[in-house]
Chains A and B, each alone.
Chain A
Amino acid sequence: MAEFLDMGGYGFYIWGSYLVTGVLMVLEVILVRRRRSQLKRRLDRMGRMQSHEEETRLDHEIET
């Protein structure tokens, strides 16, 4: 195992390459997923505001 990690003395360069590549690829996916969940929350809020506006408009119409 230690021999595998050492990579004939090039371990730092090889794992430094693979680790950063892996982290960036995973990070990109996390960022896209976060963007989607934030977007969903915003759209949900937009939906609630609209239905609330509609209700108050209907209330107003009924009252007058």
Chain B
Amino acid sequence: MAINWYKFASPASFYPLAGRLVPWFWILAAVLIVIGLYLGFVVAPTDYKQGEAYRIMFIHVPAAWMSMFIYIVMAIYAGLALVLKTRLSTMMATALAPTGAMFTFVALWTGAFWGKPMWGAWWVWDARLTSELILLFLYIGYMSLYAAIDDPRRAARASGLLAIVGAVNVPIIYFSVKWWNTLHQGASISFGQAPTMAATMLAAMGIMALGFWMYTIAVVLMRVRCEILERERHSDWVQEMVSRGTYG
């Protein structure tokens, strides 16, 4: 297959492509989340240790995964923007940040609502929770820094550097439950180890994670289209859309 990937690195050709993809990712997200909720609340059995409370896991774990995964992808795009100076990379990084911050907040919030009945505390200052809170501050810091600098190229450089340096926090979050003594339970799924939970619980969690993934792609593509229109508003191809009065 001879697809010219560089073609899609140009905002002018990525914009309509993203627009065509968005509805498909919405359909996938909706179907997967509905199936995941059905499995999680109807099919999956009650946990012998935690009772029904464990069902918070079906959003808590996928949200926590997304919060870390989105950060890594954002840092990679920020790095590409610094090295290759491609405009679309910065736009992708800035479009990813709000969704990453939202999932980080969801991971912390659902964690508190799970911690209260299980540990007796909404919050404890342990390694896993603290490093996830730092992740939220990194997202907020990245967005504020980008918004605070007027010159787009300088804004991209400064915030991109912050995103890349902050990436060291992600392995710290992930391995925190191994490196430090913590209240937080260990990884739900680890490589080379049989999962420690029922197959239906695992399926519900996995499908919810896929659903969140599709949601992320859909909403980030929508946001990057706004980002493209704003940044490229003086270019010929946007001006042409303006004169036609349709924006694809």
Chain A interface residues toward B at CB < 8 A: 7-10, 13-14, 16-18, 20-21, 24-25, 28-29, 32-33, 35-36, 39-40, 43-44, 46-47, 50-51
Contacts and interface: CB of A to CB of B under 8 A. Distances in A.
B102 A28 contact: yes
Nearest to B118: A13
B96 to A, nearest CB: 12
A7 B55 contact: yes
Interface of B: 46, 51-53, 55-56, 59-60, 63, 98-99, 102, 105-106, 109-110, 113-114, 116-117, 215, 219, 222-223, 225-226, 229-230, 233, 238, 241-243, 245, 247
Contact of B106 (A20, A29, A43): A20
B52 A17 contact: no
20 contacts: A7-B55, A8-B51, A9-B51, A9-B52, A13-B56, A13-B113, A14-B113, A17-B113, A21-B110, A24-B106, A25-B102, A28-B98, A32-B222, A35-B223, A35-B226, A36-B225, A36-B226, A43-B238, A43-B242, A44-B242
Nearest to B62: A21
B209 to A, nearest CB: 13
Given A21-B106, A47-B243, 8 more contacts: A9-B52, A17-B109, A20-B106, A21-B110, A35-B223, A43-B241, A43-B242, A51-B243
A14 B245 contact: no
Contacts of A13: 53, 56, 113-114, 116-117
Contacts of A43: 229, 233, 238, 241-242, 247
Given A17-B109, A44-B242, A46-B233, A32 B59 contact: no
Ordered nearest first, which 9 A-B pairs have the shortest CB separation? A8-B52, A47-B242, A17-B110, A10-B53, A7-B52, A17-B113, A13-B113, A8-B51, A17-B56
Contacts of A39: 226, 229-230
Contacts of A44: 242, 245
B219 A10 contact: no
Residue of A16, A18, A24 with most chain B CB atoms under a 10 A cut-off = A18
Contacts of A29: 219, 222
Given A8-B46, A13-B53, A44-B242, A21 B109 contact: yes
